[in-house]
Amino acid sequence: MASPKILTAEYCLSAHRADQCPPAGLPEVAFLGRSNVGKSTLINTLLGRRKLVRTSSHPGCTRALNFFLINQRWYFVDLPGFGYAAVPKELKAGWGRLVLDYLSQRESLAAVVFLQDGRRQPADEELFLWEFLLEQGRRVIPVLTKADKLKQGERSRQLQRAAGALAPFGVTPSDFIWFSASTLEGKDRLWDRMLANLGEP
Ligand code: GTP
Ligand code: MG
């Protein structure tokens, strides 16, 4: 299947507190991952919009929960990236609390796209978040980003290692989607997975 036609994609609001989120109603997908992993770039790529979501080579540029309304039908939520120095303990404090509250409480959250840089391995923060999401009964779609940066041999090695690290959470190698904003690899596959979770035929 191909990506759906994007008729409208608009920025709605930035929530700094849970009560600033739009009223729950439309199903939504949230994009989660370390700072600089490529969340905002991936959203722009999915929507075929170059600059809808602000991207940056400076990590931590997204600080709030940023809501975008797509085709008047779904919300996409660009979550703040967790940081370099952050450890799981710190994820639970400060603005990490905002993300965790959102992930556990948001009724209309249909799926979480969890991004991991294809060149890196899941670290403590990722493992903590995987456990947290599964405890909350969330559906999670694992994505390996910046696929264009890896050679074929490195890819299969990295995939095996990532799958090994996430095996305790029931993730298998075929669950991962390789994604590249430069080659558009993975775009259709990710859309398929998201639409299935959004209840689309
Ligand atoms: P925060 O908002 O800080 O959490 O970061 P983010 O996860 O939104 O990352 P962002 O989309 O801003 O991308 C970070 C950097 O990675 C930018 O310089 C992007 O151009 C680059 N990047 C993102 N996706 C890809 C990709 O698929 N391939 C390559 N080569 N670079 C990418
Ligand atoms: Mg961003």
pLDDT tens digit sequence for 103-153: 999 999 999 999 999 999 999 889 999 999 999 999 999 999 999 999 999
Q: String of b and e for 153-168 (b: at least 16 CB within 10 Å)?
A: eebeebbeebbebbee
Q: Give the per-residue pLDDT at 39.
A: 94
- Whether the per-residue pLDDT at 158 is higher than 70: the answer is yes
pLDDT tens digit sequence for 39-85: 999 999 999 987 787 766 555 545 789 999 999 999 999 998 887 55
φ/ψ bin of 31: left (φ > 0), alpha (ψ from -120 to 50), beta (otherwise): beta
Q: How many domains does the chain have?
A: 1
122 lines ligand 1 (CB under 6 A): no
Within a domain: 60: yes
Q: How many CA atoms lie within 13 A of 75 on its CB side?
A: 25
118 lines ligand 1 (CB under 6 A): no
Atom from ligand 1 closest to the CA of residue 80: 4
Within a domain: 56: yes
Q: Give the per-residue pLDDT at 2.
A: 81
Q: Give the per-residue pLDDT at 56.
A: 61
94 or 15, which is more confident: 15
Report the separation in Å between the CA atom of 81 and the middle of ligand 1, taken as the mean of its atom positions: 11
Within a domain: 4: no
Q: Give the per-residue pLDDT at 92.
A: 62
- Whether the per-residue pLDDT at 25 is higher than 70: the answer is yes
Q: What is the CATH number of the domain that holds 46?
A: 3.40.50.300
Distance from C-alpha of 155 to C-alpha of 135, rounded to nearest angstrom: 29
Within a domain: 1: no
Task: Kindly state the average pLDDT of the residues 170-179.
Answer: 97
Angle at 113 between CA 108 and CA 5, to 5 degrees: 80
Within a domain: 109: yes
CB of 78 closer than 8 Å to CB of 40? yes
- Considering only CA atoms, which residue is closest to atom 14 of ligand 1? 36
Within a domain: 187: yes
Q: Give the per-residue pLDDT at 18.
A: 86
Q: How confident is the model at residue 198 (pLDDT cuts 50, 70, 90)?
A: very high
Q: Domain range for residue 78? A: 9-197
Task: Kindly state the average pLDDT of the residues 71-100.
Answer: 78
104 lines ligand 1 (CB under 6 A): no
Q: How confident is the model at residue 171 (pLDDT cuts 50, 70, 90)?
A: very high
Within a domain: 190: yes
Q: Give the per-residue pLDDT at 83.
A: 73
Q: Sheet containing 177-178: which strands, arranged edge to edge?
A: 9-15, 65-70, 74-78, 28-32, 109-117, 140-145, 177-178
CB of 44 closer than 8 Å to CB of 11? no
- Whether the per-residue pLDDT at 28 is higher than 80: the answer is yes
Q: Which amino acid is at 141?
A: I
- Whether the per-residue pLDDT at 98 is higher than 90: the answer is no
Atom from ligand 1 closest to the CA of residue 81: 4
Report the separation in Å between the CA atom of 80 and the middle of ligand 2, taken as the mean of its atom positions: 7
Within a domain: 127: yes
Backbone angles phi, psi at 67, to 5 degrees: -100, 135
Tell me whether strands 65-70 and 9-15 are parallel, antiparallel or unpaired. Answer: antiparallel
150 lines ligand 1 (CB under 6 A): no
What does the block give as tokens for 63? 């600080």
What global pTM score does this model have?
0.94
- Whether the per-residue pLDDT at 26 is higher than 60: the answer is yes
